[in-house]
Structure 1
Amino acid sequence: MGDTGLRKRREDEKSIQSQEPKTTNLQKELGLISGICIIVGTIIGSGIFISPKSVLSNTEAVGPCLIIWAVCGVLAMLGALCFAELGTMITKSGGEYPYLMEAYGPIPAYLFSWVSLVVMKPSSFAIICLSFSEYVCTPFYVGCKPPVIVVKCLAAAAILFITTVNSLSVRLGSYVQNIFTAAKLVIVAIIIISGLVLLAQGNTKNFENSFEGAQLSVGAISLAFYNGLWAYDGWRPRRPSGLISLLLQTFGDRVLYPASWVVPLFVAFSTIGAANGSCFTAGRLIYVAGREGHMLKVLSYISVKRLTPAPAIIFHGIIATIYIIPGDINSLVNYFSFAAWLFYGLTILGLIVMRFTRKELERPIKVPIVIPVLVTFISVFLILAPIISKPAWEYLYCVLFILSGLIFYFLFVHYKFGWAQKISKPITMHLQMLMEVVPPEEDPE
């Protein structure tokens, strides 16, 4: 009887413990392979398939095109060296945010957070999904461009699918990422190997008279550099031309013959995989911004049932869908790139500023001052050249949208006006009930 009573008491204790509420925190189910696939998936997107066509269309000759690609690689390396010094000097997470905070103070740092989460990340998501949509639609409209409404509806459907998957489960999102990353590595291998085979067979006539008919105007060169640097940037989307699908289909027809359909199919997988990775990472960034008080608090809440940052992911998807409605790929890329290079330039300039204002900081890596100076000038060129060569309204809209972040900053972050808090609290409460989300709890020690 004693053993029976002791066993029953232990079972009761286990039952009570199982009924205790679990800590509500984000799912932590990404393994090594899934983590690698997220990184590879966001680095290898649609850019490697799109940018070569865009660079060539701006230079109109193979010789200048190859030179620009080489120079873009050098510039990317110089920029990486600048960020290496920043990263080892200021060992805080958050991308450019802590660097801007140390160099200029809270307002520029907050504006980067605002622009990154409300402009750059959603527009990147929208552009990748539009690229996917064009790849998928073009084979069904031979000899003409797909209708705009069809492309946009399919892109919106892609955003809805990816947003839903990542809101439902971290594991499900990682499975989708793993599959699409494997597909994109296959198509990259096919293109590289087939290209080397053709060169070995003596197919080099495209390199003959490679500078003939080159377009060397400042506007054309600047746009070519834009496209090349997008491809080297890794996470950034690239400017597709109106014939992005035709380029890869032509490659398939000439190289793979009966298996030419494989190329656009796998490229579509690559773009949708990049979009999935972009949504996954952006959702976490918005979640952190909400938790730190830089965005609405409800964006830091977690789904009770799914343990995912559902409000942040859904917010990201909604903003991306809004960008799709009035804009096309080119206008969105201009909108995105202007904002991105503005803050890239400010960050590299901050490195120069801190050489004089923060001399006490330890610098395990210290690049020659000429490198950040050069990269800063290049950033200024990349910001101004497209505006001068082809002015567009999206640049003005982008500036106004950046400055609008100051309104949110002073109302909700800096001064925290009481009436602003009274407006946000009922909105947060209703959204919390509607979406079944709660604030995250601290992990038990």
Structure 2
Amino acid sequence: MDEVHIRKRKETQNGSTGESVITQTKEEQQVRATVLQKDVGLVSGICLIVGTMIGSGIFISPKPVLLYSGAVGPCLLIWSACGVLATLGALCYAELGTMITKSGGEYPYLKEAFGSVLAYLYSWTTVMVLKPSSFAIIALSFAEYAVTPFYPGCTPPAVVTKCLSAAAIMVIVIINCLSVKLANYVQNVFTAAKLIIILVIVAAGIVQLSQGKTETLSNAFEGSSVSVGGIGLAFYNGLWAYDGWNQLNFITEELKNPYRNLPLAIIIGIPLVSVCYVMVNIAYFTVMTTTELLLSPAVAVTFGDRVLHPVSWIIPLFVVFSTFGSANGTCFTAGRLAYVSGREGHMVKILSFISVKRCTPSPALIFNGMLAVVYTIPADINTLINYFSFAQWVFYGLTALALIVMRFTRKELHRPVKVPIVVAGLMVLVSCYLVLAPIIDKPDMEYLYCTLFIFGGLILYYPFVYCNFSWIHKVMSPITMHLQLLMEVVPPEITE
């Protein structure tokens, strides 16, 4: 399909007839219509950030954050510090995103600063593990809250939870494949729903405080004893709830006026989420002791049962809405990274193709969804979060370092947003701590597996990317052609 378009364009360049010129122009317009469209405005950008950040994290992470921090006071401090850290990181990404206006999150920044190999390792790790595992975690959270009311007094069967999470993943992938505007509409609606439930919880907590329910909060630092590794794991789980602060950088090419809307959406969205998270945790502690919170199978549901009875059913309902919206946002951005990696030749080419009718990167979205379904099969949520956070903060730190490096190596680049270099340096130091502290305190095999997987990508890099052997193209070309015809997709750009 793409070869036909290229051939017609070359005929025109070689001096073909007027009729051929007209034909080429129409064909070229058809191909150019299949690029990703700038359909994401400021409101949708804020909803993407807020909607992705407020997902399952605030309803899951309070337990492990409290467990690893040791007491209420350190727990609330860690939640606040996570919000500050997410804001600082997002400001660094705002400079990078307005300096290099390419989609794909950290991928184009690492490639620009450190070269192709590191960018490939990032795309390999993120496309194959980080993004689909994140999608799977949120889908599992959605399923747990959705089925819990149907199994009062007992734990829902794992097979039911995992089947429902797989069904949710497939529905979300279909929505994102059908239309960018439809995916944005779903994101906006579910973001509004999750803000409603956050406001309900916060308001109920304020009422409890006004009634003198401050027993748990009055001795906030009593019995606190934390280790270096424990603080790191507490931050892992807190930052998991904040994860999503960099989501707009994955869709920069689809963002209207990115120089204005990218930093503005960050400045509005992340502080809003930070305030909500701290207030929600305070609300939890007004009705539960630390022991009760740690023993609760679903913290938000327990809170609703004690405070909002007989309408406590609204809590699990809106949590389901919240996690579904977060999963939708995660799917939306994850597909763009696979798309950009395929476009740059670091993934199979079919992932960079775009639907002719829908103008969506449907092959990349479907691939991400298939991997997410696979990750739901053996999934333990806490193990996945630790695995995810370790690898993710390696690349967050490298991306902050890329900002520092390009201040010296790429001085000519226009920087509409410029953060103090000390902020990027702080992000590098914090990233090093979050990566190394848990390993030093409690070296688990999962960290070794993660490291081996990251560098294992080099085994595929050498033959498939660096050498680019011709026999690989002979094998992949018919497969790509049949997939292209099956999904009705075309390359996003015309090859000159």
TM-score for both structures, normalised by structure 2: 0.76
C-alpha distance in 2, partners of 1:91/1:309?
18
Could you tell me which residue of structure 1 aligns to residue 474 of structure 2? 422
Q: Which of 150, 173, 188 pairs up with 1:163? A: 173
Instruction: Give structure 2 stretches of 5+ with no counterpart.
Output: 1-21, 248-276, 278-292
For the Cα contact (< 8 Å) 2:95–2:418, is it kept in 1?
Answer: yes
Provide the residue aligned with 2:220 in structure 1: 210
Q: Deviations over 1:126-171 (max 9, x none)?
A: 1110111111222333333322222222111111111122223334
Cα distance in 2 for residues equivalent to 1:29 and 1:350: 27
What corresponds to 2:152 in structure 1?
142
Q: Give 1:41's aligned residue.
A: 51
C-alpha separation in 2, matches of 1:81 and 1:176: 27
In 2: Cα distance, 1:153 partner to 1:205 partner: 41
Structure 1 unpaired stretches of 5+: 1-15
Match in the other structure for 2:6: none
CA apart distance, 1:28: 4.4
Shift of 1:405: 2.5
Alpha carbons 2:123, 2:337 under 8 Å: kept: no
Distance 1:387 1:236, change over 3 A: farther
CA distance in 1, matches of 2:38, 2:111: 32
Map 1:252-331; keep pairs closer than 5 Å: 252-331=304-383
After superposition, the C-alpha distances for 1:371-404 in whole angstroms (9 at most, x for unaligned) are 4443323212211223334443332332232223
Cα deviation for residue 40 of structure 1 reads 3.1
1:409 lines up with 2:419 in the alignment: no
Q: In structure 1, what is the equivalent of residue 192 of structure 2?
A: 182
Which of 108, 131, 138 matches 2:141?
131
* Contact 2:404 2:425 survives alignment (8 Å): yes
* AA matched with 2:160: V
1:25 aligns with 2:34: yes
- 1:56 paired residue number: 66
> Does the 8 Å CA contact 1:124/1:236 hold for their aligned counterparts?
no
Q: Could you say if the C-alpha distance between residues 235 and 173 of structure 1 is closer, same or farther in structure 2, counting changes exceeding 3 Å?
A: same
Aligned position for 1:119: 129
Q: What is the CA-CA distance between 1:105 and the residue it aligns to?
A: 1.8
Amino acid at match of 1:170: V
CA distance in 1, matches of 2:101, 2:40: 24
Q: Deviations over 1:185-228 (max 9, x none)?
A: 21112112222222233322221222222232233222112222
Give the Cα separation in 2 of the matches to 1:397 and 1:309.
31
CA distance in 2, matches of 1:92, 1:137: 40
Distance 1:354 1:31 in 2: 28
C-alpha separation in 2, matches of 1:364 and 1:175? 29
State the percentage of identical aligned residues: 64
The normalised TM-score by structure 1 is: 0.84
Change (3 A) 1:148 1:387: farther
The answer on whether the counterparts of 1:169 and 1:308 sit within 8 Å (CA) in structure 2 is yes
How far, CA to CA, are the matches of 2:390 and 2:56 in structure 1?
A: 20
Paired letter, 2:135: F
Q: Which has the larger radius of gyration?
A: 1
Bigger Cα displacement from structure 2, 423-432 vs 242-251:
242-251
Name the residue aligned to 1:347: 399
Whole-angstrom CA distance in 1 between matches of 2:210 and 2:355 = 55
Matched, 1:226 2:236: yes
The one-character-per-residue Cα deviations of 1:220-275 (angstroms, maximum 9, x if unpaired) are 2221122222233335899xx99675211111122211111101110111001111
How many residues are treated as equivalent by the alignment?
A: 424
Counterpart of 1:151? 161
| 8 Å Cα contact 1:245-1:264 kept in structure 2 | no
